[in-house]
């Protein structure tokens, strides 16, 4: 059997409906079942035979019931008609007819490919599926299977990527013995742990865009390793630790934090080096998710393990991270010592990435102490190192920080140019947090220029992204910014509600205002009080106690042109 091309969209739904009406004339797509019908057709991947076999069950199953049965789709997709050719009586029979045409070695390779999730590359197939000493190469097998339409191929960047339809993968997996499954699981784990560990240092230099894209393409495979119940604890935790920076940049904060928590909670023994790296990755994710006490404890445990191993880079990074957490908590004095020690350590081992990181955090301390010229000089020093490394994410961060320093010094024109450049770099990397931050800062500039409509649009776009990754500190900032726009427009009641909700959130996560933020907040609060009057403002402010964070975000995301 040559698998047909996928017929996406209306055509596949129409085929399903036509065949369903043939067995149950009263069947129709309604507002109540339209999404489920579309989901059934999507799960069947547009395969005409699958759509026909599934639709035949319309006389006894609702679309919702069909969807529930599709976890074992090959059992459902059978026909009761016996006048059809055998290969048309079930999807399993159709697949079997193609499978039986393969040689034994092709059959084995085909079945082994079912270990992958979301596709694979040629090197992955060679490492995981091919037997040593096999006379045929993985490339030959893939070509033969592609010619028989049992796998699909498409260009992805500078390499070809292969995949199976999920229906085909389910059939292929059925052909594996328990022993074969165990062997493949081991190879699959080893390959993707190795890939992540090669990628990790690359994410701090000139090749980071390429490696971020590669890890994104393999994200389903990486998740499969992490969730595999028979996974090897050491390897799984090595993978989670190595993926920390990928999760940070691409905004998979909550997901990464949960994988690391699960790995660190397992009682089985792992090496100290593996645990230390996992702890530092977990600390970084806890920090961005505003779990400061957790981040601090993880930093301390990681630092102790790195000291025991005399791992100089790990010691320096853990110190820098501990200082970063303290900066976010507004404890600049407590942050200074570990950051200065980290900077000295990174200089001693001549690590420019680490030097740039520590300088950037020390600059933020100077900024928060309103030493803007000193902050700008340190940010410039950090930026120069990052440009030498071609560290795009680091460059974007430094540009954004320099823009903040310029804005605080009253140079709005330079701030606008720097934020525009940082935004372009964040967007190119797929860095959601960086993109959201730069959008919010552009909104500040638009408001300063008197364009409240543009400011409102940019701030709501920023809030939507921060809400997606659950960056609570930045959500509080966005609520304050949108409240400021509302106050400037005379929407005092909405402004007071949002200012109050932001205050609640800051108190809940322990995120104090910086001096610059406090100045902006006081200006917005003053406008809101003037628009409402003191008593009405106080009543609106108190509404924050009854609002959930979800309600506050929904309130803020409503178009600002509406009246308060």
122: CATH: 1.10.10.10
Task: Specify if 32 maps to a domain.
Answer: yes
Domain presence at residue 31: yes
489 lies in the same domain as 559: yes
Dist CA 301 CA 321 (whole Å): 12
Any idea what the CATH number is for the domain that residue 415 is in?
1.25.40.10
Domain-located, residue 68: yes
| Residues 497 and 411 reside in one and the same domain | no
514: domain range? 471-564
Say whether both 477 and 550 belong to one domain: yes
Residue 307 contacts by C-beta under 8 Å, 6 or more apart in sequence? 315
Q: Are residues 40 and 116 in the same domain?
A: no
Last residue within a domain, chosen from 150, 176, 202: 176
User: Is residue 1 included in any domain, yes or no?
Assistant: no
Which of 124, 149, 176 is where one domain is finished? 176
Residue from 97, 124, 99, 104 nearest 113 by CA: 124
Instruction: Please name the residues in contact with 338: beta carbons below 8 A apart, sequence gap of 6 or more.
Output: 319, 320, 322, 323, 326
- Indicate if 479 and 559 belong to the same structural domain: yes
Asked if the structure places residue 279 within a domain, the reply is no
* pTM of the model as a whole: 0.82
**Are residue 119 and residue 72 in the same domain, yes or no?**
no
CA angle in degrees (0–180, nearest 5) for 501-438-449? 85
User: Do 533 and 553 belong to one domain?
Assistant: yes
| Strand arrangement, sheet containing 120-121 | 120-121, 159-163, 152-156
Q: Is residue 378 part of a domain?
A: no
Residue 547 lies in a domain: yes
| Domain identity same for 67 and 118 | no
Of 158, 176, 194, the residue at which a domain comes to its end is 176
441 and 476 fall within a common domain: no
Number of compact structural domains in the chain? 4
112 and 153 belong to one structural domain: yes
Say if residues 16 and 51 touch (Cβ distance below 8 Å). yes
Same domain membership, residue 516 and residue 428: no
546 DSSP 8-state letter: G
Per-residue pLDDT of the chain (564 residues; tens, 9 = 90+): 333 333 335 667 777 777 777 767 877 778 878 888 787 777 777 676 566 666 666 666 787 877 776 666 565 555 444 444 444 446 677 777 778 889 999 999 999 999 999 999 999 999 999 987 776 799 999 999 998 888 889 988 788 999 988 888 888 998 999 999 999 999 999 999 999 999 999 999 999 999 999 999 999 999 999 998 766 889 999 999 999 999 999 999 999 999 999 999 986 778 999 999 999 999 999 999 989 999 999 999 999 999 999 999 999 999 999 999 999 888 888 999 999 999 999 999 999 999 999 999 999 999 988 899 999 999 999 999 999 999 999 999 999 999 999 998 999 999 999 999 999 999 999 999 999 999 999 999 998 898 989 999 999 999 999 999 999 999 999 999 998 888 888 888 888 888 889 988 998 888 888 777 787 788 778 877 877 778 887 887 777 677 888 999 998 998 654 433
Mark out the alpha helices in 113-153 (DSSP H runs): 122-129, 138-147
Residue 243 lies in a domain: no
């Amino acid at each position: 059997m040559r698998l047909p091309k996928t017929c996406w969209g209306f055509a596949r739904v129409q085929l399903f409906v036509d065949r369903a009406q043939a067995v149950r004339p009263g069947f129709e797509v309604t507002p109540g079942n339209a999404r489920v019908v579309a989901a059934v057709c999507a799960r069947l991947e547009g395969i005409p035979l699958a759509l026909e076999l599934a639709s035949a069950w319309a006389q006894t199953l609702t679309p919702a019931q069909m969807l529930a049965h599709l976890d074992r789709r090959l059992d459902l997709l059978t026909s009761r008609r016996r006048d059809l050719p055998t290969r048309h009586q079930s999807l399993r029979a159709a697949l079997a007819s193609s499978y039986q045409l393969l040689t034994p070695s092709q059959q084995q390779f085909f079945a082994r490919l079912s270990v992958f999730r979301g596709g694979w590359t040629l090197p992955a197939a060679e490492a995981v599926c091919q037997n040593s000493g096999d006379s045929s190469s993985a490339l030959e097998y893939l070509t033969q299977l592609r010619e028989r339409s049992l796998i699909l191929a498409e260009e992805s960047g500078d390499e070809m990527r292969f995949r199976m339809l999920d229906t085909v993968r389910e059939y292929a997996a059925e052909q594996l013995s328990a022993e074969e499954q165990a062997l493949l699981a081991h190879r699959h784990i080893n390959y993707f742990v190795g890939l992540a560990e090669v990628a990790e240092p690359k994410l701090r230099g000139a090749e980071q865009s390429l490696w971020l894209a590669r890890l994104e393409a393999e994200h389903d495979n990486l998740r499969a390793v992490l969730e595999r119940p028979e996974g090897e604890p050491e390897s799984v935790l090595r993978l989670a630790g190595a993926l920390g920076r990928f999760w940070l940049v691409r905004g998979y904060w909550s997901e990464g934090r949960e994988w690391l928590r699960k790995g660190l909670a397992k009682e089985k023994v792992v090496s100290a080096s593996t645990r230390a790296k996992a702890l530092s990755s977990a600390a970084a994710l806890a920090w961005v998710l505003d779990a400061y006490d957790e981040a601090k404890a993880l930093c301390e445990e990681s630092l102790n393990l790195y000291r025991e191993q005399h791992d100089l880079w790990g010691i320096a990074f853990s110190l820098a991270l501990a200082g970063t957490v303290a900066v976010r908590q507004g404890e600049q004095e407590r942050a200074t010592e570990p950051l200065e020690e980290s900077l000295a350590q990174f200089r001693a081992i001549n690590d420019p990435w680490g030097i740039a990181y520590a300088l950037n955090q020390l600059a933020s301390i100077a900024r928060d102490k309103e030493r803007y010229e000193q902050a700008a000089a340190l940010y410039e020093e950090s930026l120069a190192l990052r440009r030498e490394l071609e560290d795009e994410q680091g460059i974007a961060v430094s540009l954004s920080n320099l823009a903040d320093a310029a804005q605080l010094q009253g140079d709005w024109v330079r701030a606008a140019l720097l934020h525009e450049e940082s935004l372009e770099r964040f967007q190119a990397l797929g860095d959601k947090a960086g993109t959201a931050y730069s959008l919010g800062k552009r909104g500040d500039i638009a408001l300063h220029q008197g364009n409240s409509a543009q400011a409102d649009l940019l701030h709501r776009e920023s809030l939507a992204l921060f809400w997606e990754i659950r960056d609570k500190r930045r959500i509080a900032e966005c609520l304050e910014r949108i409240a400021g726009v509302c106050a400037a427009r005379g929407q005092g009641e909405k402004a007071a509600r949002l200012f109050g909700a932001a205050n609640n959130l800051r108190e809940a996560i322990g995120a104090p205002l910086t001096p610059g933020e406090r100045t902006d907040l006081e200006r917005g609060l003053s406008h809101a009080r003037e628009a409402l009057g003191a008593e009405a403002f106080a009543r609106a402010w108190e509404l924050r106690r009854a609002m959930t964070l979800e309600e506050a975000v929904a309130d803020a995301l409503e178009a600002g042109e509406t009246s308060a």
